[in-house]
Amino acid sequence: MDHQPKFFENLSGAGKAIAVLTSGGDAQGMNAAVRAVVRMGIYVNAKVYFIYEGYQGMVDGGDNIVEVSWESVSSILQVGGTVIGSARCKPFRTREGRLQAAFNLVQRGITNLCVIGGDGSLTGANLFREEWSGLLEELAQKGKIDAEAVKKYAYLNIVGMVGSIDNDFCGTDMTIGTDSALHRIIEVVDAIMTTAQSHQRTFVLEVMGRHCGYLALVSALACGADWVFIPEYPPEEGWEDSMCVKLSENRARKKRLNIIIVAEGAIDCHNKPITSEKVKDLVVQRLGFDTRVTILGHVQRGGTPSAFDRILASRMGVEAVLALLEATPDTPACVVSLSGNQAVRLPLMECVQMTQEVQKAMDEGRFLEAVRLRGRSFENNLNTYKLLSHKKPDAELPKTNFNVAVLNVGAPAAGMNAAVRAAVRVGMTEGHKIFAVIDGFEGFARGKIKEISWGDVGGWTGQGGSILGTKRTLPAKYLEKIADQMRTNNINALMVIGGFEAFESCLQLQEARASFEEFRVPICVVPATISNNVPGTDYSLGTDTALNAIVETCDRIKQSASGTKRRVFIIETMGGYCGYLANMGALAAGADAAYIFEEQFDIRELQANVEHLTEKMKTSIQRGLVLRNENCNENYTTDFIYQLYSEEGKGVFDCRKNVLGHMQQGGAPSPFDRNFGTKISAKAMQWISKKLKETYRKGKVFANTDDSVCLLGMRRRNLVFQPVAELKSETDFVHRIPKEQWWLKLRPLMKILAKYKTSYDVSDSGQLEHVAMLPKEAETGAI
C-alpha cells in the first residue's frame, strides 16, 4: 500500500469547539484519554470544554461546562477514575433533557462531542446526534435560539471511546481500563496464593463482569486457576462432580491450594446464577476442604492505570480529535478502537448492535454463538484455558515418540516461565515428551537437560525471571557438544524462548545444519526480552512488565518533583540500542522528552529542550521529566545531559538523575505478559507438532528448509510464523535492532502531549472500517 504520508498540520481546529465527557461506570485510564483530547484539541487551535458529571452536567449546564487550558489536565495521567466525574443521568433519557443539553451546548458553540463510556453512554450520544437538528428547530420555535444559530450549528459530530473494565464492547480488542482491572485482580490473586499455600486452602474469587466473562477468563489464564465460571460458557450438566474430582486430583498431586474464579454474572446451562457462596458450600460439603470466598468488588475499578491503559487512552484521545476534525455531516458517529497495535475507527452503532447480539445469544442459550461473537481474542483465551487447565489421563493422550526441548536464552524477561509452562502442557497434550534445558545453550552443551512433566510447571505463570535459568552464550562456541546432546537425548525439535540472542542462536543453528544433521529439526523462537528489539515482532514478552516498572518509578519521581517544585529529573532506561522503553515510558509517564538512538539528536535539540523546560517552569506545572535510553548517544551520556541541564537551568530549575537499572528486568509478570506468553507459546508448540508430522520420514525427522526455523511474532494485527533466514534482511545486527520499528510512529504523540510542535503522519488513520471486516485472526495488542 504505497501512499503519500498525510500529516495532520493540514487539519485545523480553528473556530471549532470540542467538549469531552465521561459517562457510566468509571475506568482507569479515562483521565489519560481526557488529557489527550484536551491537549490535542488545544494543539490544533480548537476550544476545548470539560463537561463535568457526564450527561447530567450537560443537562444542568452552568458551571458544569467550562473551557479548559493546557494546564487543566496536568498531573491527571497517573490518577485512576475520572477527574471530571461521571453520573447516571435519567433526564438525558427524556427528550426534554436532551433539549436542555442541546441548548447548553449551542450557547457555547459546541458541535463536537467526545464521549468516553460504555455502550449505554455511546448509544445515548448517537440518539442525541440523530435528534440534533430537530432539537435545534424546537429551540428556535420556543425562541431560545435564533435562526442564525440553527444554521451555524446544524450538525453535531460524535466520537466515542470505550471506557469499561469489563472489556464487553465488540469491535475493540481492549477497552480503556481492562488491563488495569486485570492488574488489580492479579495483585490480589498473587497475595492470596501465599496464604492459601500456607494453610492448604481453597479460595473462591469473585470478579466483576455481570454480562461479560473477560476479566474472569483472563485472570484464570494468568494465574492458572483450577476452575472458572463465566456467563458466555456455562459448565455442562454435572459440573459439580467434575469440579470436585478435578480439585481432589490436584490435591492428590501435592498441590497445596486451589483457586476458583467466578464472574459475578456466571450462570449454569439453565440460565440459573452460580454464585461464589454456592461454589464454596459445594466444595465444603463434598470435599471438606478449608474454603474461603473473596469478593474483589470495586477494588478492580480503582488504583492507578497501567502503562498499557495510559498509552491506549492517549492514542485513542488523539485519534478521537483527528476523527472530529475530519468529520462531515455524512460521517456516522464512530468509536475509536484498537485492533492489534493499530488505532481504528468503527461505526458506533455497528459495534453497539454486535455487543447487544452477544447478550441476546446468551439470553437465548446460544452460548457457542456468544463466545464467537465476543471475538477471536476471547475465543482463543477460552480454548487456551481449556487446553492448559485440565490434564487428560495418560491413557487418553496420543503418543508421538517425539522429544521436544525447551530453553531460555539471553537476559531474563518476565513471562518466560508462563511460556515454558504453556509449552510443556501443550506439548504433553500433543503427545510429545518435553525436555527442559537448564542455563541456555551453555547448559545444553554441558548436558543439563531433563524431562519435565505437567505438575513440574504448576504455579509458574506468576513467577518473574527465568526458572530454567538463562545465559547470553550463543551456540556457535559449542555446536559439536550441543549436537551430541541432541543425539544422546534424541531431541526432535527445539523451542527457544528469548531475546535477540535467541534469534541469532537459531540463525547459527540453521547455518550449522550443513555440518550437523542433528540441527535438521523444527526450531521455533518465542521472542522474550524487555528491550523489544527482536526483528519480526511488534511486541516481545517481558516488555509490558518492564514498562510498568518504569512508569511506576516515574510516577513516584514526578510526585517527589512536584513537592520540591522547579525540579527536572533525568531518568535512564534499559533497552540496548532500542528506544522502545524510553519512548513508550515517556508517553505513559507524561515526560517532557525522551532521547533515543533511533532519532539522532544534537546539542541544538538539547538546548531547545532546556528552553522548553524553562518556559514550563513559568506555568503552574513546575517539574520536568526526561527519559534517556542507555545507548542513545555515546557522548551525550546521562551524566552529560544531567550536567548540561543543571548548568543551563541555573536559577530556574535544579536537576536530579536516576538510573533505573536491573529493576526493569525483575518483578512478577504483568497480566499482559502472563497471557501473551501463554498464548504465543501454545501456538508455537502447535506449530512444532505440525512441522514434526510434516518432516517425519522413514523413522526420523528431517527438516532442512528455511521455513522449519521460524520466529513467532505479532505483526500489526496477527500472530505470524516467519523464517529467521528471511528476517536477516530486516535486521541491523551491529545495533541489535530491527531496521523498521512500528512504535516510532507514536513518537510525535509524546511530543504533542508535551507541547512541542511536530509533524504527525496520520496516513493510517481516517478510514472508517466495519466491524465484520476486522480480520478474524486479530490476536491483539490485547491479550
Give the pLDDT of residue 304.
96
Give 716's pLDDT tier (boundaries 50, 70, 90): confident
Give the pLDDT of residue 559.
86
SS3 for 19?
Answer: strand
Each as own residue / partner, the long-range contacts of residues 757-760 (CB below 8 Å, 24 or more positions apart, any chain) are 759/7, 759/9, 760/7, 760/8
Check: CB of residue 664 under 8 Å from CB of residue 581: yes
Instruction: Look at residue 710 and tell me whether its pLDDT is greater than 60.
Output: yes
Instruction: Look at residue 740 and tell me whether its pLDDT is greater than 90.
Output: yes
User: Average pLDDT of 724-752?
Assistant: 95
Strand pairing partners for 47?
Answer: 17
Rg (CA), the chain: 27
Give 763's pLDDT tier (boundaries 50, 70, 90): low
Q: Exposed e or buried b for every residue in 163-190, given b needs 16+ CB within 10 A?
A: bbbbbbbbbbbbbbbbbbbbbbbbebbe
pLDDT in tens, 406-453: 999 999 999 999 999 999 999 999 999 999 999 999 999 999 999 999
Q: Vertex 457, ends 454 and 463: CA angle to 5°?
A: 160
Instruction: Look at residue 766 and tell me whether its pLDDT is greater than 70.
Output: no
Query: Distance between CA 318 and CA 753 in Å, rounded?
Result: 9
User: Average pLDDT of 389-411?
Assistant: 91
Query: Distance between CA 583 and CA 315 in Å, rounded?
Result: 14
Q: Vertex 766, ends 764 and 752: CA angle to 5°?
A: 70
Cell, residue 170: 465488540
pLDDT in tens, 301-322: 989 999 999 999 999 999 999 9
Query: Distance between CA 613 and CA 651 in Å, rounded?
Result: 13
Give 222's pLDDT tier (boundaries 50, 70, 90): very high
Query: Distance between CA 574 and CA 169 in Å, rounded?
Result: 36
SS3 for 7?
Answer: strand
Query: Distance between CA 613 and CA 587 in Å, rounded?
Result: 17
Query: Distance between CA 633 and CA 579 in Å, rounded?
Result: 11
Give the pLDDT of residue 2.
41
Give the pLDDT of residue 507.
97
User: Average pLDDT of 180-197?
Assistant: 92
Check: CB of residue 30 under 8 Å from CB of residue 59: no
Check: CB of residue 86 under 8 Å from CB of residue 22: yes
Q: Which of 217, 212, 215 is nearest to 232 (CA)?
A: 212
**How high is the mean pLDDT of the chain?**
92
Give the pLDDT of residue 765.
60
Instruction: Look at residue 175 and tell me whether its pLDDT is greater than 50.
Output: yes
User: Other CB atoms closer than 10 Å to residue 763's CB: what's the count?
Assistant: 13
pLDDT in tens, 590-615: 999 999 999 999 999 999 999 999 99
pLDDT in tens, 319-368: 999 999 999 888 899 999 888 778 889 999 999 999 999 999 999 999 99
Q: Which of 58, 73, 40 is nearest to 108 (CA)?
A: 58
Q: Is 166 a catalytic residue?
A: yes
Q: Say which of 166, 168, 226, 555 is annotated catalytic.
A: 166
User: Other CB atoms closer than 10 Å to residue 362's CB: what's the count?
Assistant: 23
- Point out the least confidently predicted range of 156-160, 571-575, 752-756: 752-756
Query: Distance between CA 272 and CA 8 in Å, rounded?
Result: 53
- Start-to-end Cα distance in the chain: 28
Give the pLDDT of residue 698.
87
Give 780's pLDDT tier (boundaries 50, 70, 90): very low
Instruction: Please list, in sequence order, all residues whose beta carbon lies within 8 angstroms of the beta carbon of residue 210, skipping any fewer than 6 positions away.
Output: 166, 231, 264, 265
For every residue of 425-490, DSSP letters joined together read HHHHHTT-EEEEESSHHHHHHTT-EEE--TGGGTT-TT--S-SS-EE---GGGGHHHHHHHHHHTT
Cell, residue 360: 441476546
Give the pLDDT of residue 598.
97
Give 764's pLDDT tier (boundaries 50, 70, 90): low
pLDDT in tens, 634-654: 999 999 999 999 999 999 999
Residue 305 is given by DSSP the state P
Residue indicated by cell numbers 478435578: 246
- Alpha helical stretches, state H, 235-375: 239-252, 276-287, 307-326, 348-363, 367-374
Give the pLDDT of residue 487.
96
Instruction: Look at residue 16 and tell me whether its pLDDT is greater than 80.
Output: yes
The phi and psi torsions of 417 (rounded to 5 degrees) equal: -70, -35
Give the pLDDT of residue 391.
83
